[in-house]
Amino acid sequence: MTKIEIYDKAMCCSTGVCGPQVDPVLPKFAADLDWLKGQGHEVNRYNLAQEPAAFANNAVVQQMLADEGVECLPLVLVDGRVVSRSEYPSRENLALWSGTSVKPKVSLPTATNSGCCGGSTGCC
C-alpha cells in the first residue's frame, strides 16, 4: 500500500482540531486521513511544534523548508514525493495519489423481480 506523510505547521495538537477557533478544513482532513488508513494505507502526520525531529530527518521536507519557509506547510508526501503544499488536499486528490477509489466497496442491496419479500405474492 501507499505511504502518506503530512507535515503540518505548528499547531496546538496533532490534528489542529482543538482550541477556540478551529479551521473547518482540519476536521474534514482528519476524517479523510482516517478513511485512507481504513483503506489500508500507511498514514503518518507530523506537527512542527510537537515533532520537529520528523521534519529534520526528512531531506525532502528540509529542502522545501529551506526554499520556501514554513509557508510550504502543510506538505503532503506520497511514497516520498511531494504531491501537495501550502494547503490541505481533498479526499478525491488523496484517493487519486494513493490509487484508492472513493466509491464505496460495498454496494447497497437492490430489489429483485420476485416481490419485496422474495415470495410469489409480492407483498410483505
Residue 72 lies in a domain: yes
Report the CATH number at residue 14: 3.40.30.10
Range of the domain at 59: 3-98
Decide if 71 is inside a domain: yes
CA–CA separation, 84 and 65 (whole Å):
14
**pLDDT confidence of 14, banded at 50, 70, 90?**
low
Query: C-alpha cell of 116?
Result: 419485496
Q: Which tens digit of pLDDT belongs to each residue from 41-79?
A: 999 999 999 999 999 999 999 999 999 999 999 999 999
| Pairing of the two strands 3-8 and 42-47 | parallel
122 falls within a domain: no
Residue type present at position 116? C
pTM over 0.85: no
Q: Does the residue 118 lie in any domain?
A: no
Q: Which residues contact 13 (CB under 8 A, 6 or more apart)?
A: 47
Residue 101 to residue 59: CA distance in whole angstroms: 30
DSSP 69: G
Is residue 107 included in any domain, yes or no?
no
| pLDDT exceeds cutoff 90 at 102 | no
Q: For residue 6, list its beta bridge partners.
A: 45, 76
Question: What is the mean pLDDT of the segment spanning 73-96?
Answer: 96
Q: Could you tell me if residue 112 is inside a domain?
A: no
Count of domains for the chain: 1
- Domain annotation covers residue 105: no
User: How does residue 20 score in pLDDT terms, banded at 50, 70 and 90?
Assistant: low
User: Which residues make Cβ contacts (< 8 Å) with residue 14, sequence separation at least 6?
Assistant: 45, 47, 50
